[in-house]
Structure 1
Amino acid sequence: MEFRCTPVSLSDWGGDTLAVGLAQDDHGPLQQALEARFGPDLSALLEQRRFKGKAGDVLTFTLLGQAPAQLIVVGLGEAQAGDVAGLRSAAAAIARAAAACKASDLGIALPSDGLDPKAAAQAIAEAVRLTLYADQRFKSEVEPAAVPGSISLLGLPESAQAGLDGLGAICSGVELARQLVAAPPNVVTPQALADTAAEIASTYGLELKVLERADCEALGMGAYLGVSQGSALPPKFIHLTYRPAEGASRRLVLIGKGVTFDSGGYNLKTGGSQIEMMKYDMGGSAAVLGAARAIAELKPDGVEVHVIVAACENMISGEAIHPGDILTASNGKTIEVNNTDAEGRLTLADALVYASGLQPDAVVDLATLTGACVIALGNEIAGLWSPSDGLADALLEAGRLGGEQFWRMPLQASYKEGLKSPVADLKNTGPRAGGSITAALFLQDFIEAGPAWAHLDIAGTVWSDKGRGLDPAGATGFGVRTLVEWVSQGGPA
């Protein structure tokens, strides 16, 4: 797919398929231009087909003997200036309709009032490319891709083309994250995550350090190693580093939970627990590796980025941890394991201690951590916890610009009572009520004083059973665009 911005209007454009967005009950400039080109009968035809311009309305017309030969009309809902989320949704709907009618030269006319033209171009192009992504790696018969070869963003100045400069890097990062999450656990193992990091490092000149089990033992990573000890596959502690050529004034750390399969351990996941889907429990690691791939290609100035993944499996065997075991993390804190299915926070505990030792300005961790967050926020919104207002606001804004939704949740200090253990410094789970909050409070215990810190619980957003917006059914690659946007802005905290 090749994207280009052009000031040419829909009245003058001459490709094979034209797509136009119309607002609800708004006879605006785009509808007037459509009527001027295709005649006054178009409005009657739209009314006959009961098109109201509501969000989600999509009609496709075949125009015999005309150019364009196909017309796609999508509803935008109530017109709102500066609505980048609505722009993305409309572009995603156009992409699906264009694929269905096998468009080859597609022109897209969408209103972008109140938006910087470069931001509008980026939002539309990202939505189209990511909507048309299809993962067919594990199918014996591959279906031919029905994607337009040329896509013109109509009515945008040529200067808006600069908004597409990072399109390939960002979308490739999201697609990498989708591929990692979608692959089965016999393909994406701890070693496979290390290999992915090695490929990124080799291709883009990043630094890579992979700590083996003995290295982690030497650092006292008892919490992380406790989770990994039940698996026949060795753990891999991955540390990937981007350093800008001209030096950096800020140092950021991105940590992704990397449990490549989570059986639940002796607190085994049973019927209804989606154990067969626990390949996506490494969604946090997929997001940070996807972000690393994009950042390495974009090469932002002035910011040094460290990507950390404590990769392992949580399995059952004669060597697996028992409920009731006490583990000692690398900062010396002891943890009573009252639930072996709360393993992700144990791996993150040692990763956070390690990250703190890098003396960063800010640390952000992403994890498919709790079902409680899914209950609270559903499958479209991720939870955000941070004691830093500046970092929280920066991540919320980065998510808005990247088309990913977060909701800031409380770090209620009194809830930490639920993590007290009679035999250790703390337990790895608290009461059922407020489970996503106590999980965040547990993690906070392993961040040393100094760096700003945020925890993102993406348990509900890394996978979509039926697809939503620009995400196909399956892995979404959630988190990559937010991280890239935040780092590109210098990682404000």
Structure 2
Amino acid sequence: MQFSLSPANLSAWSGSVLVVGVHEQDPQGLIGELETRLGLAIAPWLERQRFQGKGGELAKLQLLRPEISSLILVGLGAAASPQLPALRQAAANAAKACNAESGSVGVLLPWSEQPAQATAEALSVAEAIRLALYSDVRFRSKPDPRTLPERFELLGTLPADTASALERVGAICAGVELARELVAAPPNSVTPAALADSAATIAQAHGLELKVLERADCAKRGMGAYLAVSQGSDLDPKFIHLTYRPNGALRKRLVLVGKGLTFDSGGYNLKVGAAQIDMMKYDMGGSAAVIGAMRAIAELRPEGVEVHMLVASCENMVNGSAVHPGDIVTASNGTTIEINNTDAEGRLTLADALVYASELKPDAIVDLATLTGACVIALGEEIAGLWSDHDDLADGLRQAAEQAGEGLWRMPMQSSYREGLKSLLADLKNTGPRPGGSITAALFLREFVDREIPWAHMDIAGTVWSDKGRGLDPAGATGYGVRTLVNWICGGGAGANA
């Protein structure tokens, strides 16, 4: 799939499908221009279709003409509404309507008059189109044949640097698609070793450095919290460290940490009832996001930023060797932890990963994890939670998420809630009281980060999967977090706000 620019307008463009974005009340008079261009009375047809230009509306007209075979009108809502979300959604809707079309698609949208904003809109629209057309057929014996457009041309006046910006689309979307494939794959396919293999593939293809710590290596480093989670599984844990080093002078060193539970049974606190144990394959959504981000970063090769990716990968299973509720383990920084709930295992693996991350002496650490059901209750399935004591880092991530169209909301780090993590026997319990569960989870993680290092935690439990599909995301794995991280690192946010 190719993306390109074309200065053509409604009167000049020809191809297979023409997509036109229309605001409510059509203040630009595009319907009239289309009627002149095509010699058709389109307005009465739209009235019969009850198309008013509202956000999410779409009307498709088969023209069967040599110069344009189909016309798709997409609603953009009120002209005064925020433009970027409307353009992104309209592009995704139009792309889905282009399924089974071939040839070229012209996309005419009301681009911003501000050059930087117009370029950002074009990039976002191209990402929306590609991601909306994604389909995972790896596990079907006879996939349904699909015909997709060969290229999309963005029409109208756009800044000169937009063409180079569009060159990023392939790398970013490939990272998102990789994350989706990792999350969606069954747990007998994506194992800790398979995650390590994915990192190895990226390293080999793009010249990155890879280190994989085996169980014995982790034991030597005193990673008692991480290894406690893994001890009930027949599969060996894999601690994955992937590194991108830029050419030239180094300005920033950043660490991305992803929770990597390739399957989470809950351990002896077995998931039952509404916990949907069959979906616990997506408990490695954080690791998928950081691996996908590294896939994109490796190809984009941002200057001056060194990026380390860490995943403490394992399964949380039940056998005679599995950790017991009530066991006390020691993390690699010497902190003792009473495991009062074996289903709060992700924070145990992250604890040792965050200690390791701090030892790299980075300028910032960001972890992503499908950590708590409490975050899903608080923010739903479209917004991830963000916890950080560092305003600049939090602001940089929120701006990157907004640009990516990924919902992210900063949550409080209520220090008084740490009282709920106190243990009678150990330094900490791994869970606190039920109220504020996502906050106490973040406070637990903070105990394992060097306080001098800016750190942020993103709880993506609600956003990693969509049962019915939403926005640009199909039903299933969303690849949430990849575009936010890539925007933060490659779009200047890390340099300015780390």
| Pair 64,206 (structure 1): closer, same or farther in 2 beyond 3 Å | closer
* Percent of aligned positions that are identical: 63
Say which of 413, 416, 419 aligns to 1:414.
416
Q: How does 1:245-324 map to 2 (within 5 A)?
A: 245-324=247-326
Distance in 2, matches of 1:113 and 1:44, equals 29
* Structure 2: gaps (5+ residues): none
* Structure 1: gaps (5+ residues): none
Distance in 2, matches of 1:224 and 1:29, equals 61
Distance in 2, matches of 1:438 and 1:33, equals 58
* Structure 1 residue aligned with 2:143: 142
Comparing 252-261 with 11-20, greater Cα deviation is found at 11-20
Distance in 1, matches of 2:172 and 2:76, equals 25
* Structure 2 residue aligned with 1:237: 239
Distance in 1, matches of 2:446 and 2:29, equals 52
Distance in 1, matches of 2:249 and 2:358, equals 21
Please report how far the alpha carbon of residue 113 of structure 1 lies from its aligned counterpart in structure 2 after TM superposition: 2.3
Q: Which amino acid aligns with 2:124?
A: A
Distance in 1, matches of 2:223 and 2:420, equals 24
Q: State the SS of the aligned residue for 2:216.
A: helix
Distance in 2, matches of 1:183 and 1:247, equals 39
Say which of 321, 336, 339 aligns to 1:337.
339
Distance in 2, matches of 1:195 and 1:372, equals 32
* Structure 2 residue aligned with 1:384: 386
Please report how far the alpha carbon of residue 68 of structure 1 lies from its aligned counterpart in structure 2 after TM superposition: 1.1
Distance in 2, matches of 1:30 and 1:276, equals 49
User: Which deviations, in whole Å up to 9, do the C-alpha atoms of 1:285-312 show, x marking residues without a partner?
Assistant: 0000000010011000001000000000
* Structure 2 residue aligned with 1:113: 112
| Pair 372,433 (structure 1): closer, same or farther in 2 beyond 3 Å | same
Say which of 210, 214, 223 aligns to 2:212.
210
Please report how far the alpha carbon of residue 156 of structure 1 lies from its aligned counterpart in structure 2 after TM superposition: 3.5
Distance in 2, matches of 1:39 and 1:420, equals 75
Distance in 1, matches of 2:177 and 2:376, equals 23
C-alpha contact 1:284 1:367 (8 A) present in aligned 2: yes
Distance in 1, matches of 2:24 and 2:242, equals 48
| Pair 201,47 (structure 1): closer, same or farther in 2 beyond 3 Å | same
Please report how far the alpha carbon of residue 66 of structure 1 lies from its aligned counterpart in structure 2 after TM superposition: 5.9
Distance in 2, matches of 1:31 and 1:389, equals 46
Distance in 2, matches of 1:307 and 1:73, equals 42
* Structure 1 residue aligned with 2:79: 79
Q: State the SS of the aligned residue for 2:385.
A: strand
Distance in 2, matches of 1:212 and 1:301, equals 32
Distance in 2, matches of 1:174 and 1:422, equals 44
Say which of 355, 364, 370 aligns to 2:366.
364
C-alpha contact 1:5 1:121 (8 A) present in aligned 2: no
Please report how far the alpha carbon of residue 33 of structure 1 lies from its aligned counterpart in structure 2 after TM superposition: 2.4
Q: How does 1:465-476 map to 2 (within 5 A)?
A: 465-476=467-478
User: Which deviations, in whole Å up to 9, do the C-alpha atoms of 1:212-248 show, x marking residues without a partner?
Assistant: 1111111110000000000000000000000001131
Comparing 26-35 with 319-328, greater Cα deviation is found at 26-35
Q: State the SS of the aligned residue for 2:251.
A: strand
Distance in 2, matches of 1:29 and 1:162, equals 31
Please report how far the alpha carbon of residue 64 of structure 1 lies from its aligned counterpart in structure 2 after TM superposition: 3.9
User: Which deviations, in whole Å up to 9, do the C-alpha atoms of 1:129-153 show, x marking residues without a partner?
Assistant: 0110111000000222221002111
Q: State the SS of the aligned residue for 1:384.
A: strand
Please report how far the alpha carbon of residue 19 of structure 1 lies from its aligned counterpart in structure 2 after TM superposition: 1.0
Superposition RMSD on alpha carbons, in Å? Answer: 1.3
C-alpha contact 1:383 1:456 (8 A) present in aligned 2: yes
Please report how far the alpha carbon of residue 490 of structure 1 lies from its aligned counterpart in structure 2 after TM superposition: 5.5
* Structure 2 residue aligned with 1:133: 134
* Structure 1 residue aligned with 2:462: 460
C-alpha contact 1:82 1:112 (8 A) present in aligned 2: no
Please report how far the alpha carbon of residue 29 of structure 1 lies from its aligned counterpart in structure 2 after TM superposition: 4.2
| Pair 331,58 (structure 1): closer, same or farther in 2 beyond 3 Å | same
* Structure 1 residue aligned with 2:354: 352
Distance in 1, matches of 2:31 and 2:191, equals 52
C-alpha contact 1:81 1:114 (8 A) present in aligned 2: no
Distance in 1, matches of 2:443 and 2:370, equals 16
Q: Which amino acid aligns with 1:127?
A: A
C-alpha contact 2:31 2:42 (8 A) present in aligned 1: no
* Structure 2 residue aligned with 1:122: 123
Q: State the SS of the aligned residue for 1:240.
A: strand
Q: State the SS of the aligned residue for 1:287.
A: helix
Q: Which amino acid aligns with 1:16?
A: S
Distance in 2, matches of 1:141 and 1:21, equals 36
Distance in 2, matches of 1:70 and 1:26, equals 20
Distance in 2, matches of 1:64 and 1:490, equals 47
Distance in 2, matches of 1:82 and 1:163, equals 22
User: Which deviations, in whole Å up to 9, do the C-alpha atoms of 1:431-489 show, x marking residues without a partner?
Assistant: 11111011000000110122100000000011111111111111110000000111111
* Structure 2 residue aligned with 1:228: 230
* Structure 1 residue aligned with 2:197: 195
Q: Which amino acid aligns with 2:362?
A: P
User: Which deviations, in whole Å up to 9, do the C-alpha atoms of 1:49-103 show, x marking residues without a partner?
Assistant: 1111111111111124463121111111112476212111000000011115x24
Q: Which amino acid aligns with 1:95?
A: A
C-alpha contact 2:4 2:163 (8 A) present in aligned 1: yes
C-alpha contact 2:396 2:493 (8 A) present in aligned 1: no
Please report how far the alpha carbon of residue 40 of structure 1 lies from its aligned counterpart in structure 2 after TM superposition: 6.6
User: Which deviations, in whole Å up to 9, do the C-alpha atoms of 1:401-448 show, x marking residues without a partner?
Assistant: 112110000000111111111111111111111110110000001101
Distance in 2, matches of 1:366 and 1:14, equals 45
Q: Which amino acid aligns with 1:107?
A: G
* Structure 2 residue aligned with 1:440: 442
User: Which deviations, in whole Å up to 9, do the C-alpha atoms of 1:344-390 show, x marking residues without a partner?
Assistant: 00000000000000000000000000011011101010000000000
Distance in 2, matches of 1:363 and 1:158, equals 35
Distance in 2, matches of 1:95 and 1:472, equals 12
Q: Which amino acid aligns with 1:408?
A: R
